[in-house]
């Protein structure tokens, strides 16, 4: 079965610094990978996805993610963090008709 | 467009009571699903449907029933609530067999005492 792992429960970063939220995957075949963000008391919002093509995927709110097949990773990145980026981030992988989520990483951006 | 609408937003049940969480979408999505979110466990898939009249089990289906009589609606039923079902429930929809992202509702916070 397909799965994703998010090794960090929380990531802390100062505003203006680059941020990385890590995700590794385990799939058979070519993966469909996604990143979602959840703000307090809200549902998840789609940020970006990798299906095929360029390994660097650009998404909403200035986020991007790098697909690395050799390291089976799909890390979320942003060059300059904002306090408003503070939220819960989920990596996900598609498994036929199901979307399987990681356990989430809480991003805290300090002023 | 309203997107994915979940009702109620909050619910408190006593052990053994039954209830239905409602989910409706107005985007003509064939695929609908229910997740539960628990601290430290991320989102876990309960049930899903690839179209009207078709449902299937996800990772944690025990204690929950679903049906899909229309494209728009996908209710989740708890037949006999247990404290272990205290959680936040999310409904999500998208186009079936595509790479389109899921659209989520704002969730239902359920407490079972």
Residue of A nearest to B37 (CA): A103
Average pLDDT over residues B8-15: 97
The CA distance from B109 to B73, in Å, is 19
Interface with A, mutate which of B9, B30, B42 (most A CBs under 10 A): B42
Using CB atoms, pick whichever of B97, B99, B106 lies closest to residue A43.
B106
The Cα A88–Cα A80 span in angstroms is 17
Pairing of strands A10-14, A105-110: parallel
Q: Max CA-CA distance within chain A?
A: 42
Residue A30 has pLDDT above 90, yes or no: no
CB B5 within 8 A of CB B105: yes
Contact criterion met (CB below 8 Å) for B86 and B61? no
**Coil vs helix vs strand at B85:** helix
What does the alpha-carbon distance between residue A9 and residue A48 come to, in Å, rounded to a whole number? 21
Query: Looking at per-residue confidence, does B39 or A82 come out higher?
Result: A82
Tally A–B CB contacts below 8 A: 57
Residue B105 CB coordination number (10 Å) = 26
The pLDDT-based confidence of B1 (bands split at 50, 70, 90) is low
Residue where the block lists tokens 């980026």: A85
Task: Assess whether pLDDT exceeds 80 at residue B8.
Answer: yes
Count how many Cα atoms sit within 13 Å of the Cα of residue A106 in the half-sphere of its side chain: 8
Distance from CA of B106 to the nearest CA of A (A): 4
| Residue of A66, A84, A85 lying closest to A76 (CA atoms) | A66
| Mean pLDDT (chain B, rounded) | 94
Tell me which chain A residues have a C-beta less than 8 angstroms from the C-beta of B102: 36, 44, 46, 99
Residue A1: pLDDT over 80:
no
d(CA A52, CA B111): 41
Q: Of B88, B99, B104, B106, whose CA–CA distance to B39 is shortest?
A: B88
The predicted model gives B86-108 an average pLDDT of 91
Q: Which residue has the tokens 């407490």?
A: B111
Helix (H) or strand (E) holding B110: strand B108-112
User: Cβ of B35: how many Cβ atoms within 10 Å?
Assistant: 27
Dist CA B30 CA B75 (whole Å): 15
């Amino acid at each position: 079965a397909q799965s994703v792992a998010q090794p960090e429960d929380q990531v802390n970063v100062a505003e203006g610094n680059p941020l990385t939220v890590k995700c590794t995957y385990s799939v058979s075949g070519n993966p469909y990978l996604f990143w979602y963000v959840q703000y307090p008391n809200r549902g998840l919002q789609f940020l970006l996805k990798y299906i095929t093509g360029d390994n660097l995927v650009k998404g909403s709110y200035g986020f991007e993610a790098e697909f690395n097949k050799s390291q089976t990773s799909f890390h979320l990145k942003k060059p300059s963090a904002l306090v408003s980026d503070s939220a819960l981030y989920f990596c996900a992988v598609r498994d036929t008709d199901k979307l399987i989520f990681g356990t989430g990483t809480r991003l805290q951006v300090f002023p | 467009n309203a997107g994915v609408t979940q009702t109620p937003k909050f619910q408190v049940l006593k052990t053994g009571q039954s209830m239905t969480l409602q989910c409706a979408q107005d985007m003509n999505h064939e695929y609908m699903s229910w997740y539960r979110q628990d601290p430290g466990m991320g989102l876990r898939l309960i049930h899903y449907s690839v179209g009207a009249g078709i449902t299937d089990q996800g990772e944690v289906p025990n204690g929950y029933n679903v049906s899909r009589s229309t494209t728009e609606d996908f209710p989740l039923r708890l037949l006999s609530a247990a404290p272990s079902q205290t959680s936040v429930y999310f409904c999500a929809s998208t186009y079936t067999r595509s790479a389109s992202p899921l659209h989520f509702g704002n969730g239902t916070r359920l407490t079972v005492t």
